[in-house]
A = this chain, B = another copy of it.
Amino acid sequence: MRDHFEVRAQDAGGRIGDLTVPRAGVTVETPTLMPVVNPNIITVDPARFREFGAEILITNSYIIKNDADLRERALDEGLHGMLDFDGAIMTDSGSFQLAEYGEIDTDTEEILEFQHAIGSDIGTPVDIPTPPDVPRERAEEELEETQRRLELAETVETGEMLVNAPVQGSTYPDLREAAGRHAEHTSLDVFPVGAVVPLMNDYRYGEMADVVAAAKRGLGRDAPVHLFGAGHPMMFALAAALGCDLFDSAAYALYARDGRYLTVHGTEHLDSLQYFPCGCPVCTDHTPDDVQRMPDAAQEELLAEHNLHVSFTELRRVKQAIRQGSLLELVEARAHAHPRVLDGYRAFLDHAGQYEQSDPVSKDTFYYTSPESARRPEVVRHRERLDRFSLPETVLLAESGTDDDFDETWRVRPPLGPYPRELATSYPFTAEVPERMDDAGYEAAAKGVSRLVALNPDTEFTLAHRDWPARALDYVPPRVE
């Protein structure tokens, strides 16, 4: 068990955690976003990050090390002094530069020692960020090299500094899972799922979800997971549901420089906005027209501030949803606003069995809001657990009422299917469902009937339903009346 990370609440794969960062003397609440600070170009002063809700930032030790001036200042004042930030500071190692340019002039031992020397709170070895879609052999070889470097990192003397253990493996789920398991067994502390930026840049959220789910299968529950390079609020809810605890955003600043404005549904260009679709202090105090007329620097700063506000607001929404057990309801809202996030959610649901294990058995009301809801972990779990009941000779499955001609009357409702009436006031059977139910909901219920019937060959079943569609009734075995 990792004593620097404590999970305090959970919903689906999402959790609220306390990440204790001893060297910074702070405890960071996750999920959170680490604004990326380019020490050469400060868009929003890190001293102001707390206004937005940032407790931790990330900067690049390799860039600092290779700039004589920055290097001297960092060694002299320390990172916290140089950046004027009293929260936690994570540093990257130059792996990104390695992926981008093919080589770098440092190694794991040297860069970890440098990170320690400049006062980083969480350092990073030089892993190999294998991109998506490479031949399997390359992915395997590079993963082995990454793993050697993690083992080397374990031996470097870095005091109280936490150390990242990146999880690689390209787009091969089994390699990601093995990489997660290996990283979990090192003495390292924080677990970035690496090299997913190319997937995210291409909005390949379905494959991103598969990669994260695989890494999570290898990592333990108490491993804090960083989705490296994920900084767009449109996918925070999905990524949190997959079990990611840390995000990092260069987007807030890079997009602002480019006149781009983040929303939880996508990205807009300032020039295309007649109204600000946001209620943050920036967007309440200004109109797009006001901001369009400003000098570039002022415009960039306001856009960056909005981008931070919208990102941290979404994280508060995610945390509140985890507390209430409504994280998947939030994911539904996000998924049904963008086809690629929908891909990601559909991929998540392919792993419903995996996430069922961490899903709390009781929470707020289950909202059925799409055919996807019929595949949620709660529905999967209830259908699995139908083997826990023992049934009498004759059972009526009815949407309402009871009938004394039968030994027992059970309730049957889309999407959960059959359940004993005494559970009707318990989660998830208090589900709110649309009046206009869809086929997927009826089919899920019919599959539940089918399983219950198969589990109880000696019971005679009668199903009293209100006009279920033929497609759903196809799943009900013929021996049910």
Binding site for B on A (CB under 8 A): 204, 206, 265, 272-281, 283-284, 309-310, 312-313, 316-317, 319-321, 323-324, 329-330, 332-340, 342-343, 346-347, 367-371, 432-436, 438
A336 to B346 alpha-carbon distance, docked (Å): 14
Cβ-defined partner of A275 (8 Å) among B278, B323, B346:
B323
Determine the main DSSP class of A at the interface with B: helix
Nearest CB of chain B from residue A368's CB, rounded to whole Å: 5
- A310-B279, A346-B434 given; A265·B333 CB < 8 A: yes
User: Which chain B positions have C-beta within 8 A of A265?
Assistant: 329-330, 333
Nearest CB of chain B from residue A211's CB, rounded to whole Å: 15
Nearest CB of chain B from residue A369's CB, rounded to whole Å: 5
Contact B323 A339 (CB under 8 A): no
Contact B343 A435 (CB under 8 A): yes
User: Which chain B positions have C-beta within 8 A of A276?
Assistant: 316, 320
Contact B347 A336 (CB under 8 A): no
User: Which chain B positions have C-beta within 8 A of A206?
Assistant: 434-436
User: Which chain B positions have C-beta within 8 A of A272?
Assistant: 324
Contact B275 A319 (CB under 8 A): yes
Nearest CB of chain B from residue A367's CB, rounded to whole Å: 6
Identity of the chain B residue whose Cβ is nearest the Cβ of A280 in the assembled complex: B279
Nearest CB of chain B from residue A309's CB, rounded to whole Å: 5
Contact B333 A337 (CB under 8 A): yes
Contact A369 B337 (CB under 8 A): yes
Cβ-defined partner of A347 (8 Å) among B347, B367, B433, B436:
B436
Nearest CB of chain B from residue A471's CB, rounded to whole Å: 8
Contact B332 A274 (CB under 8 A): no
Nearest CB of chain B from residue A321's CB, rounded to whole Å: 8
Contact B274 A313 (CB under 8 A): no
User: Which chain B positions have C-beta within 8 A of A330?
Assistant: 265, 337
Contact A339 B284 (CB under 8 A): no
- A280-B280, A284-B281 given; A339·B434 CB < 8 A: yes
Identity of the chain B residue whose Cβ is nearest the Cβ of A435 in the assembled complex: B343
Cβ-defined partner of A337 (8 Å) among B329, B346, B347:
B329
Identity of the chain B residue whose Cβ is nearest the Cβ of A432 in the assembled complex: B339
User: Which chain B positions have C-beta within 8 A of A332?
Assistant: 336-337
Contact B343 A436 (CB under 8 A): yes
Contact B369 A342 (CB under 8 A): yes
Nearest CB of chain B from residue A7's CB, rounded to whole Å: 15
Nearest CB of chain B from residue A192's CB, rounded to whole Å: 25
Contact B279 A343 (CB under 8 A): no
A461 to B371 alpha-carbon distance, docked (Å): 33
Contact B309 A279 (CB under 8 A): yes
Contact A336 B434 (CB under 8 A): no
Known: A206-B436, A277-B321, A280-B280. 7 other contacts (CB 8 A): A274-B320, A275-B316, A278-B279, A335-B336, A336-B370, A337-B367, A340-B434
Of all A-B residue pairs in the complex, the 3 with the closest CB atoms, nearest first, are A279-B313, A336-B336, A333-B337
A384 to B87 alpha-carbon distance, docked (Å): 60
Contact B277 A279 (CB under 8 A): no
User: Which chain B positions have C-beta within 8 A of A313?
Assistant: 277-279, 283-284
Identity of the chain B residue whose Cβ is nearest the Cβ of A53 in the assembled complex: B284
Contact A436 B346 (CB under 8 A): yes
A279 to B283 alpha-carbon distance, docked (Å): 10
A414 to B335 alpha-carbon distance, docked (Å): 18
User: Which chain B positions have C-beta within 8 A of A309?
Assistant: 279, 284
A248 to B155 alpha-carbon distance, docked (Å): 66
A332 to B265 alpha-carbon distance, docked (Å): 11
Cβ-defined partner of A334 (8 Å) among B283, B312, B333, B436:
B333
Identity of the chain B residue whose Cβ is nearest the Cβ of A9 in the assembled complex: B274
User: Which chain B positions have C-beta within 8 A of A370?
Assistant: 336, 342, 370-371
